[in-house]
Structure 1
């Protein structure tokens, strides 16, 4: 019975993957509408992209909550933007005069698609930065999990295949490359604490911060979720809530 069930599950998996591949080829545009009415268009050229935008990787509720905290005149950072699952919805909510979106993504294939998707959706000014963010500046290596847009598991690691430039947020702000943020989302595969350290005093400008926590990956950087939450508490965030998602989870920190 167990072998039969495994076979059925495997068949369903490959059937669903084939579905995404076929639709990505013959219907490259996908409109996604959230329960709150926000919508965004995504271009896709692979099954992994189609899966990512149609499922939103199980983060639909989190995206809606993120949008609930955004005001039209905000400066919003999406750090680890991938192909724009958060950024494209944010870009439709910000004011064309005062709002500004900063989308940061180190993977070259994702950056190209991210820019394309934002051009198709944005009603505000936006910046796309092809950097890794962290606590130090210089060259780092990114583990390459594939060259198709939509891959979301790349991580900074000395054995990585892709060389990318790493920057600190406070340096980018002091160099006037980007304005200081009001709202921030972080999803960086274990480097969350390092990114926060790189904010320096700029963290004082942040009103709301969403951060996806990868406990096991954080260990690769010598960090842990408890110390990260302590950093937020010390920085003046008075409310820290969790949104559970399997072995990973999001925290919402507000002042």
Structure 2
């Protein structure tokens, strides 16, 4: 399979899975294993194209970001609380991500780990959905510090590939009583600084090799994956909040369980 077709395929996978609780990183790892890509060659690509999905969040929720930004500049309460909550939730993963990056990179090379975390995560989602008792409707800026910090700590679980960043943050929020709609939107907003930070770190470490043309997968493939992930993620975001507000997360949990079991069985037989 050519580089361009591979970039399109991985861009679709990223866009479809970044914001639903099934783990985009886990799916990219399994896709690499299934189709025989060189994981090291596509590692940077897989991180950077996440910015395409993040741009979809900014585009979809532009009025919210604009209002919050103006509110911060004007020192308005809602804008300041929105920025505070997103940044505070981002801090735990930023600290632990920097501290344990080498260990995280090692785990990214384990597709069997992805199979198990998909399976266990699916079971966890079913349990949390059954036991969670959402409180009154809150917006992201209205969430108390206890819930904000708890969601930030839950996001740290996503450093293990297959856990799912959106899954960890959404389920963490639900477990602490946040309603489904706000939990999903908080996860979307929190993805912006998280993914920008991860991409920046990756570019600092490998950007010189990329610019010098020393990597098989270059800027052209990254640009293709970026655009494809943006388009696909935009469609997913628009449908996801409406769906889970009515139906919940159980279908995603069962999907994780089926894919996790299939991956464990397939990898075990190889």
In which range does the TM-score fall when normalised by the shorter chain?
under 0.3
Q: Which has the higher helix share?
A: 2
Q: Which has the higher strand share?
A: 1
Q: Whose RCO is larger (CA < 8 A, sep 6+)?
A: 2
When the two structures are superposed, what TM-score results if normalisation uses the length of structure 1? 0.26
